[in-house]
Amino acid sequence: MKIDKRKIGTKYSPLIIPEIGINHNGSLDRAISIADSAIKSGAEIIKHQTHIYDEEMSLEAKKIIPGNSRKNIYQIIKNSQLSYEDEKKLCNYIRSKKKIFISTPFCKKAVDRLMSFNVPAFKIGSGECNNYPLVEYIAKKRKPIILSTGMNTMQSISKSVKILKKYKIDFVLLHCTNLYPTPSHLVKLNAINQMKQKFKTSMIGLSDHTKDIYACLASVALGAVIIEKHFVDSKKIKGPDVSCSMDPDDLKALIEGSKVIHNSVQGDKLPAKEEKVTMNFAFASVSTTSTIKKGDKFSEENIFPIRPSNGSFKIKDYHKLIGKVAKRDLKKGIQLKLKDVY
C-alpha cells in the first residue's frame, strides 16, 4: 500500500501519523504552527479532522457531553472546525513543505471537500467504522483508507472490511481504544494479533490515546505498520485532545524508536554471521583441567570443554574422549590436539 509516495507494510518502518485533530481550537494560525512543529520533528505526514458541524451532527448532539469535557460535543466541534478556505490553506501549507496531508471526514460534504483537495488517502475514525453508508461513500472514491476500529467488535469491523474489499480498496486497520486519555490496562495491544488472524492481513496498526508513547513503541514489536497519535506543539496549551497528545520530543522519540524496534524484530532465530568473532572466544573446546601424565586416561576430572573454541576437539567430542589414553605428558590449561590422544 502507498499513500502518495510513502510505502506502507511490514517491510518498512511504521508510518508515524501525528494528528493535529482539533487541537488548534478553530485557528488556522495555530493549525499551521502545530503542523510546522510536527514537520520540524520529523513527520512525513500530517493528519487533520474535517468537521462540518451542522452536517455531521443532529441538534441532539447539544445534549451530549464527552467524558473529557464540560462542553457539549456540538459546541466543541462548532468552535474547533476550520472553514473550507482555512483547511485548504492548511493543506497547501503542508504540501509546500513537501509533506503529505490527509484528514478524517465525518460526513459526505467533508468527503467531497477532501476530494476537492485531491487527498491521497482517507482516514475513517472509530466512530464512523460502523457507519456503513459513510464507509461506502468514501470507498467509492477509490482512495487508500486507514480505518480505526475503537469501540467496535470483530463483527462490526468485518462489515466495513467487506465494503472496502468490494471496492478493492487498499486499507490498514488501526486498533484503538477511545478513551481520552486511555489507561494502560485498556490499551489491549493483543488485539493487533487478533485482528491479523481474523482479517488475514498484516496491514494492522495502532491509533493511540494514552498519555505517553510506550504503547506506540510496543505496537511496533507486534508488527504495527501505522501508528497514529494526537500531536500538539506544547502540552501547556488548552485543547480537546491535549491530554492524550504527544509533543515534539515525544514525536522525535517515537519516529526514532519505531525505526530501531522495526529493525530489531526482523530475522529468524539463527546465529548471525557477524557473531563469528564472538563465537571464537565464547564457545569452548576440550582442554586439560589438571596435569596429565603419558598413559593416563582422560576423565571428567582432568578434561572439560572451556573457552576458546579454536581447539582440535569441540564440545561434541567431549564424551568420546572420556576413557581414551594420553600419548604424552600434558600440563593443565592446554587444548587437546589430535597428537595427544591414542
**Statement to judge: residues 186 and 37 lie in one domain:** yes
Boundary of a domain, candidates 203, 237, 264: 264
- pLDDT at 64 (0 to 100): 95
User: What is the span of the domain harbouring residue 243?
Assistant: 9-264
Neighbours of 320 (CB within 10 A): 12
- Whether 4 maps to a domain, the answer reads no
Per-residue pLDDT for 238 more than 90? no
**Statement to judge: residues 205 and 319 lie in one domain:** no
**Statement to judge: residues 313 and 240 lie in one domain:** no
**Statement to judge: residues 112 and 74 lie in one domain:** yes
- pLDDT at 81 (0 to 100): 97
**Statement to judge: residues 81 and 115 lie in one domain:** yes
Q: Is the pTM of this model over 0.85?
A: yes
- Bridge partners (DSSP) listed for residue 104: 49
**Statement to judge: residues 326 and 195 lie in one domain:** no
**Statement to judge: residues 280 and 254 lie in one domain:** no
* C-alpha cell, 334: 592446554
**Statement to judge: residues 155 and 56 lie in one domain:** yes
- pLDDT at 137 (0 to 100): 98
Alpha helix segments (H runs only) across the chain: 28-40, 53-56, 73-80, 84-96, 108-116, 132-139, 154-166, 190-199, 214-221, 248-264, 276-282, 318-321
Percent of the chain with pLDDT over 90: 97
CATH number of the domain within which 297 lies: 3.90.1210.10
**Statement to judge: residues 287 and 204 lie in one domain:** no
- Whether 227 maps to a domain, the answer reads yes
Boundary of a domain, candidates 206, 231, 264: 264
Mean pLDDT estimate for the chain: 97
- pLDDT at 286 (0 to 100): 98
Say how many residues make up the chain.
342
Backbone angles phi, psi at 60, to 5 degrees: -65, -20
Boundary of a domain, candidates 233, 264, 295: 264
**Statement to judge: residues 137 and 202 lie in one domain:** yes
pLDDT confidence tier of residue 237, bands split at 50, 70 and 90: confident
Instruction: Tell whether the torsion through CA atoms of 39, 43, 45 and 49 is positive or negative.
Output: negative
Please state, in angstroms and rounded to a whole number, the distance separating the CA atoms of residues 285 and 269: 24
pLDDT confidence tier of residue 240, bands split at 50, 70 and 90: confident
Per-residue pLDDT for 49 more than 90? yes
- pLDDT at 250 (0 to 100): 98
**Statement to judge: residues 43 and 24 lie in one domain:** yes
Number of domains in the chain: 2
CATH number of the domain within which 105 lies: 3.20.20.70
**Statement to judge: residues 172 and 96 lie in one domain:** yes
- Whether 2 maps to a domain, the answer reads no
- Whether 166 maps to a domain, the answer reads yes
- Whether 1 maps to a domain, the answer reads no
- Whether 3 maps to a domain, the answer reads no
